Structure 1
Amino acid sequence: MPSLAASNRLRIGRCSEPNRIYLLSTNTLCREPIFKDFTLGRLVVAQFRAAQDQGFADSLAWVVMPDHVHWLIELHRGTLGGLMQRTKSLSTQAVRRSTDRKISLWQNGFHDRALRREEDLVNVARYVVANPLRARLVEKLGDYPLWDAIWV
């Protein structure tokens, strides 16, 4: 498990600007491949959709890998920390209900990268959703069930 000091370093220099695009990534605790069970992965996807439905962020692209997630968003309200805390907490609760096990699901902290609008967002989205191909989990992207992008 990362130390508290390492977790705090993830926050140095982090700011949350409305209408800015961010690439967010976070790992499961000890990189446990819990989302090999696609049913559990869909519980995370439900939280991505809830964040959008509630007006916190628009999901531009995402992938739920067995042991981590990547989420390309346009932030609308709140902070990145609040968005990730809410998403991680609610997905943990959903997985606990589904498995009837009291588990810790996520590592502390997350990584974020702010993108400039002039960057090629489509290429970043393609990079995100191509994770299952690079990890050799599937031969065709369409064979992996836990991804989406507004451009694809």
Structure 2
Amino acid sequence: MPDLPASHRLRAGRYAEPNRVYLLTTNTLNREPVFADFALGRLVVHQLRRAQDLGLAKSLAWVVMPDHFHWLVELENCSLRKLMRETKSLITREVNLCSGRSGQLWQQGYHDRALRKEDDLVKMARYIVANPLRAGLVEKLGDYSLWDAIWI
């Protein structure tokens, strides 16, 4: 593989399939802990729920960490590119408006992983929502409020 910038490597070979489950991850620019501010983290939650309400993707599990989010989705009526572009753009607009920030909020691109049918979705959801525990942000999951999963 040629030595391409990270954002181009992430897009190489990307293929989105309706009704397939994907784990999506994206980071803030320079891994700035923007969402350590609970109110700004709730803006991310609002946009994840909006995407589901619009029928773009069914949210199976998610967690908003201080400098990134993980989102387990079943893709519905859009592409991965559209889902992430819209979601990140709307989050940026709301965060900038509410916090007095301006400019870019996210690193370019995002990571996606298509889950195979045999992958254990509940296990993946538990892994996602346990991120705050592994990061040492809380001692028990109930102490962190920026997560959800349909099974838990």
Question: Given the two structures, how large is their TM-score scaled by the length of structure 1?
Answer: 0.96
1:76 aligned residue: 76
Please list the CA deviations of residues 80-119 of structure 1 after superposition, one character each: whole Å capped at 9, or x if unmatched. 0110000000000000110122132100000000001221
1:18 aligned residue: 18
Structure-1 separation of matches of 2:117 and 2:34:
34
Structure-1 separation of matches of 2:99 and 2:132:
25
Q: Secondary structure at the match of 2:73?
A: strand
Read off the aligned partner of 2:59 and give its amino acid letter: S
Structure 1 residue runs of 4+, over 6 Å off? Answer: none
Read off the aligned partner of 1:85 and give its amino acid letter: R
2:112 aligned residue: 112
Question: Given the two structures, how large is their TM-score scaled by the length of structure 2?
Answer: 0.96
Paired residues, what number? 150
Q: Where in structure 2 are there 5+ consecutive unaligned residues?
A: none
Structure-1 separation of matches of 2:122 and 2:110:
22
Q: Secondary structure at the match of 1:22?
A: strand
Structure-2 separation of matches of 1:126 and 1:148:
10
Read off the aligned partner of 1:17 and give its amino acid letter: E
Q: Secondary structure at the match of 2:88?
A: helix
1:53 aligned residue: 53
Read off the aligned partner of 1:121 and give its amino acid letter: L
How high is the sequence identity, in percent, across the aligned residues? 68
Structure-2 separation of matches of 1:142 and 1:13:
38
Read off the aligned partner of 2:122 and give its amino acid letter: V
Structure-1 separation of matches of 2:130 and 2:59:
16
2:30 aligned residue: 30
1:123 aligned residue: 123
